[in-house]
C-alpha cells in the first residue's frame, strides 16, 4: 500500500535511481510492517529552474 | 471542484488521453454530484526508470 | 500502474466514494489498456477552509 | 516549512518563474508567519495534452 | 489554470488561510499572466508527527 | 533538496513514523548524495475508505 513520491533535482543516473528505490523500499518495509510488492515509488525529476528555496530558483542560487 | 491527478507510465497517445479525461470526468460527475466544468484533471507521465514496485524499477522489471 | 489522486470537498458518503472509485477505475481501464488490479486511487478530502478559487476560500464563497 | 507545488501550463519563461517564486514566497511569509528560507516551491509544467477541464484536453479546448 | 498545493504545519487560523490564498493568488496572477478565477489553491495541513527534516519528526525537533 | 511524500493507510504509531522518516532519510542520503538536513518528508495518512485498489475501497476489501 505505501505510495511514495520523491521529488529530486534532475541529473541522477539510472543506477542511482535503482539504489534509491531499493533502499527506500527496504526502509519502508522495515518500519511500517509491509512487504515489498506493496510499496510503489514515483520519482519526479525537477529542472533547476523549477525548484526554489527562499524565493530564489535553484538555478540562480548556485551562481 | 474535484481535482484529479493521474500518474501513468509514459507512452499513451493523445487520443488515449482524450478518452481517459472524458471518461474519468463522466465517472466523477456521475458519482459525486458535480458538473463537468468543475472537474480538472492533471496527467503526469512517468518514464520507466521513474516508477518502481517492490524496490525494482519498471525499466528492470520487464527484462 | 496508474495511480490516481482525487481531491474532493469533504462531505461525500462512503457509498459515494465506493461508486467513485469503481467508476473511475473502469474509466481508466477502458481507455489506457490496464487491468483493474493495477489501478490505485487515493481520495483526499478537503475542508471548505482549505480550498480556494480566485483567492477566496470555498467557505467564504458560499456566504 | 511550507512546501508549495504549482502546476502550470508549460510555456512560461525562466524570468516569469523567477518572479513567480519570489512573489509567492513573499505572500506565504507575510501571511503564515515564516521566514523565506523555510519556503520551498516546486513548479510542475504541464503540456496542453496533459491538462483537462470538463473532460476536454486544454489542447482541444483552444481549437 | 494554475493549481497550487500548499503543505503547512497545522495550526493556522482561518483568517491566516484567507490572507494566504488571497495573497498567493495575487502573486500568481501578477507573474504568470492569468486571472484570479483560474487559480485554484489546495491547503494541506500536516500534524507535527507527519513532517520531518533530516530524519527527525517536527514533533521531536522542538523538544 | 529531496522532498518525499509517503501515503500510508492510517493507524501507524508515532514511533513507527519516527523510525520510518529516519530510515527513509538515511536511504535517500546514501543513494543520491545529499546530506540529511536537505531531506524533507511529508507523511499522508489515509482512511480505509479513502484508498482503493482495483475499484474496491480498502475498507471493503478486508470483509
CATH architecture of B3-61: 2-Layer Sandwich (3.30)
Q: How confident is the model at residue D8 (pLDDT cuts 50, 70, 90)?
A: very high
Which residues in chain A have Cβ-Cβ distances shorter than 8 Å to F6?
2-4, 28
Give the span between the Cα atoms of F20 and A27, in whole angstroms.
Answer: 7
Write out pLDDT tens, residues A6-18: 999 999 999 999 9
- Whether A54 sits inside 8 A of D44 (CB atoms) is no
pLDDT at C1: 79
F53 has a chain D CB within 8 A of its CB:
no
**ipTM, interface predicted TM-score of the complex:** 0.96
What percent of chain F lies above the pLDDT cut of 90? 95
Tell me which H or E stretch contains A59. helix A58-61
Q: Which active-site residues of C does the annotation give? A: 2
Say yes or no to pLDDT of E62 above 90.
no
C42 touches chain F (CB under 8 A): yes
Test B45 with D49 for CB contact under 8 angstroms. Answer: no
Strand partners, E51: F42
DSSP run (H or E) holding A19: helix A14-32
What is chain F's alpha carbon radius of gyration, rounded to the nearest angstrom? 15
Q: Which three cell numbers stand for residue A55?
A: 524565493
Residue from the list F39, F43, F45 with its beta carbon closest to the beta carbon of E55? F39
Subunits adjacent to chain B (3 or more Cβ pairs under 8 Å): A, C, D, E
- Cα torsion C24, C29, C30, C34 to 10°: value is 170
Is some CB atom of chain C closer than 8 A to the CB atom of A40?
yes
Q: Over chain F, what HEC string results?
A: CCEEEEEEECCCCHHHHHHHHHHHHHHHHHHHCCCHHHCEEEEEEECHHHEEECCEEHHHHCC
Query: Residues in chain B, how many?
Result: 63
Which chain F residues are Cβ-neighbours of E46 within 8 angstroms?
42-43
Which residues in chain A are closer than 8 Å to B60, comparing Cβ atoms? 18
Cβ-based contacts of D41 with chain A (< 8 Å): 51-53
Q: What is the pLDDT of residues B25-47, one digit of tens each?
A: 999 999 999 999 999 999 999 99
CB A39 within 8 A of CB A25: yes
Cβ–Cβ contact A36 with B under 8 A: yes
Q: Up-side HSE of residue B59: CA atoms within 13 Å toward CB?
A: 15
Q: Is F26 in Cβ contact with A24 (below 8 Å)?
A: no
If you compute the radius of gyration of chain C from its CA atoms, what whole number of angstroms results?
15
Q: Which residue of F has its CA nearest to E60?
A: F18
Q: What is the pLDDT of residues E19-43, one digit of tens each?
A: 999 999 999 999 999 999 999 999 9
Between CA E7 and CA A46 the distance in angstroms is 18
**Confidence at C38, pLDDT banded by 50, 70, 90:** very high
A9 contact D CB<8A: no
Residue E16 pLDDT greater than 70, yes or no? yes
Q: Is the pLDDT of residue A40 over 90?
A: yes
Amino acid at each position: 500500500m505505501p505510495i511514495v513520491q520523491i521529488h529530486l533535482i534532475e541529473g541522477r543516473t539510472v543506477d542511482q535511481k535503482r539504489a534509491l528505490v531499493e533502499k527506500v523500499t527496504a526502509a519502508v518495509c522495515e518500519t511500517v510492517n509491509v512487504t515489498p510488492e506493496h510499496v510503489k515509488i514515483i520519482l519526479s525529476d525537477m529542472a533547476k529552474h523549477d525548484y526554489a528555496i527562499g524565493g530564489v530558483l535553484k538555478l540562480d542560487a548556485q551562481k
